[in-house]
Amino acid sequence: MLRPVCGNPMHGSSPRRVIGAVALTLSLMLGAGLRSEPEACDAEVVVVLSGRSDAIVQAGEGVVAGVPGDASVMTLEEFTRDCQIDPGRTYVGVGPSATVYLTESAPAGATIGACLVPDLRSITPGERVSLVGVHTTVDVRDQLDLLREAVPSARTIGVLHRSGSPVSRDWIGRLREDPDTPSVVLIDLDEAASVSEAIAELMDEDVDAVWTFPDPAVYDAASVRLLLISSLREKVPVFGFSDGFVRAGALVGVQVDPASQGEQLGALLQRPREEGVTLEPCRLEYALNLVVADRLGLRVPKDVREAASVVFD
């Protein structure tokens, strides 16, 4: 059974999120000045953004909405310019750059929160520094459970990867670790003449579905296009690693909601915890493309349709 799904980010905004957004906006406006307000460095929770991309900002808003007390938001550039890390406060890194900086700069006794880092396990804090984080990506097992629920006939799954890519190696390692993994056909792009050849080879293996993971060495606009076109031609559903992938033509896929992950981290920071690393899986939310289901001639079970965060139809 799928885990409960939190609110659809496409609809509505909670008051806390609105307040968080206002606070974030004001913070960024102040931060845009020649010098940021010194009070921003003294908030109970200081949220440090790796950049100003939509996802990063939304996650920052989520953290502000998720923590009860005084919180400030600034970019990494502003933080390094104006602030010093005080072990008595909590610092949250949003995105890889800010998180890496905070964990590597934190003195003993400091607490660092982290979200929107694709692989938090790659971040190792120093001695006596607490790292509290929410995984950005969903566990392989949960993804495969979702795939099996959406496409019950999926017995054999195909996977594209690059043996030379550390990201691919990590995901394939996790796939192999899962004892419930179905039969898997791996196609190595590094050994194929071209991406199109690799996809053709994958389809020739009579796989029931294709599972994907976010490795930029494997997936870009061109390879996604080729895979989705083949998927429709061969009637093989694709499990996408993002809602953008599902919008483009994958049948179903995980949805990464930055605001929701920020809120989850905010709540996690309030809980009592031990020193060390505390990591929590992100909530499973997913997108479903019923237009693609029709094209593939698939009937998606009702409970899967109803629990989807985003449905493209």
Of residues 246 through 305, those in contact with another protein by CB under 8 A are 247-249, 256, 268, 271, 273-274, 276-281, 283-284, 291, 294-295
- Closest contact distance (angstroms) between CB of 256 and another protein is 6
Q: Does 210 bind another protein (CB under 8 A)?
A: no
Structure tokens at 170: 């990590």
Q: Does 181 bind another protein (CB under 8 A)?
A: no
Q: Does 239 bind another protein (CB under 8 A)?
A: no
Q: Contacting another protein (CB under 8 A), which of 61, 149, 215, 263?
A: 215
Q: Does 245 bind another protein (CB under 8 A)?
A: yes
- In the chain, what is the greatest distance between 2 CA atoms, to the nearest angstrom? 62
Q: Does 32 bind another protein (CB under 8 A)?
A: no
Q: Contacting another protein (CB under 8 A), which of 90, 242, 289, 309?
A: 242
Touching another protein, residues 8-27 (CB under 8 A): 9-11
246 contacts 253 by C-beta, under 8 angstroms: yes
Q: Does 104 bind another protein (CB under 8 A)?
A: yes
Number of alpha carbons in the 13 Å side-chain half-sphere of residue 288? 24
Q: Contacting another protein (CB under 8 A), which of 18, 32, 39, 52?
A: 52
Q: Contacting another protein (CB under 8 A), which of 121, 155, 176, 299?
A: 121
Cα–Cα nearest to 277, from 170, 137, 88, 125? 125
Q: Does 145 bind another protein (CB under 8 A)?
A: no
